[in-house]
Amino acid sequence: MKVLVLGSGGREHALVWKLRQSPRISQLYCAPGNGGIADEAECLAADLQNLDSITALAARLQPDLTVVGPELPLTLGVVDEFTRRGWPAFGPTRAAAQLESSKSFAKEFLQRHHIPTAAFAICDSIEEVRAALGHFHAPVVVKADGLAAGKGVVIAKSKEEAASVAAEMLSGKMLGEAGARVVLEECLTGDELSFLVFSDGERVAPLVAAQDHKRVGDGDTGPNTGGMGAYSTADIVDEQMRDWLIHHIAQPVVAGMKTEGAEFKGVLYCGLMMTALGPMVLEFNCRFGDPETQPILMRLESDLSDALEASIEGRVSEGDFKWSQDASVCVVMSSGGYPGTYEVGKRIDGLEEAGAIEGVKVFHAGTSKRDGVHYTAGGRVLGVTARGLDLETAVARAYAACAKISFDGAHYRKDIAGRALKK
């Protein structure tokens, strides 16, 4: 079987690493890939912002299965196009991907289907923002409606700050078109949880849950990022909570999308806040999470390609997944300055020593490789991932590996899974 993975981040490296373990797969390609993926799959050039470029590549390869990593190609309609051409592709159609590509669509959908989420207002002008703010208490969450790579959410401490952030988003200066509409939300508190399910448009099967760490600094300080680390354990949610999340969130979303004529196939990522009043939806992603996929796939013992095909072919079942009871954790090493401006092209040392530590796998994100040497090439550079019999062991291994790796300006959080360890 010939498999194509689209993307170039740590998530895609984890997908490639897992798929490579499948005896069913004879040829594995990744476009465009990165410096680490190149060691495990054949990397090919493609512009993922351009549907024609992706289609031309697939026409040449004729893949038996394509897995789409990032959201952008999904919102461009890559699955619609591949399906039309008879190439099996895992992921939602462009219409179903609106759950991620438009926060206002997602919020109104949640409201229509009585799925718990924070109170909100959708605004197209600063006048609407000012009027709506009358109904909120500070802090207020201000979100750009469109895709912003995890950088379109600001938690404003006061209503004045909320108005000024919203004005900047609406002006187009901050995030371009993505901010032409904004969503104001009540600020929720609690532990966050990433709950991902596979769907075939009708049925859902959960993956093991994970927790992301969105802020750039220790103790959840500083601006939001794409994610600075994540962990997964056997008891991150108990069975009762898992069933609740399936029956009150994941299943109703998939059923609702079907009744609205936009069947959701692929992986539905429910970003949740576990509040005192119960779980509430913060956001949906219509793809695997990054970095959650790294620790999640480290715990997967069954063949990922079977589960991907089950989604495409309409036969998703919980039996598609066999999970290890081990704990796993991913610590993201980023370029200094991320999520703001940063420099690239820094030589990375110590990768081999880090990867030699028991239970450790170093996934590459923003890296490139020249003459056998790895260099930084993005904001999030590496996802240093480890598993162990318990969370303490996994965390100790991941940080021991981080300590072996160096590059100019390297930054990583020292407290990934810290709150869970304290409990």
Binding site for ligand GLY (CB under 6 A): 150, 212, 226-227, 285, 289-290, 292
Q: How far is the CB of 238 from ligand AMP (least distance, A)?
A: 22
Q: How far is the CB of 286 from ligand GLY (least distance, A)?
A: 10
Nearer to ligand AMP, 214 or 387 (CB): 214
Q: How far is the CB of 226 from ligand AMP (least distance, A)?
A: 10
Q: Which does 185 bind (CB under 5 to 8 A by kind): ligand AMP, ligand GLY, none?
A: ligand AMP
CA–CA gap between residue 57 and residue 310 (Å, rounded): 24
CA–CA gap between residue 181 and residue 104 (Å, rounded): 8
Q: Which does 289 bind (CB under 5 to 8 A by kind): ligand GLY, ligand AMP, none?
A: ligand GLY
CA–CA gap between residue 144 and residue 138 (Å, rounded): 18
Q: How far is the CB of 74 from ligand AMP (least distance, A)?
A: 16
Q: Which does 282 bind (CB under 5 to 8 A by kind): ligand AMP, ligand GLY, none?
A: ligand AMP
SS (H, E, C) 299-338: CECCCHHHHHHHHHHCCCCHHHCCECCCEEEEEEEECCCC
Binding interface with ligand AMP (CB under 6 A): 118, 141, 143, 153, 155, 185, 187-188, 192, 214, 224, 271, 282-283
DSSP states of 57-106: HHHHH--SEEEE-SHHHHHHTHHHHHHHTT--EES--TTTTHHHH-HHHH
Nearer to ligand GLY, 150 or 336 (CB): 150
Nearer to ligand GLY, 18 or 130 (CB): 18
Name the token pair of 59. 């026409």
Q: Which does 159 bind (CB under 5 to 8 A by kind): ligand AMP, ligand GLY, none?
A: none
Contact 139, 157 (CB under 8 A): yes
- Give the helix/strand (H/E) hosting 253: helix 251-259
Give helix 159-171 / helix 126-133 axis angle, nearest 10°: 160
Q: How far is the CB of 132 from ligand AMP (least distance, A)?
A: 14
Q: Which does 153 bind (CB under 5 to 8 A by kind): ligand AMP, ligand GLY, none?
A: ligand AMP
Q: 363 by DSSP, 3-state: which?
A: strand
Q: How far is the CB of 213 from ligand GLY (least distance, A)?
A: 9
Q: Which does 118 bind (CB under 5 to 8 A by kind): ligand GLY, ligand AMP, none?
A: ligand AMP
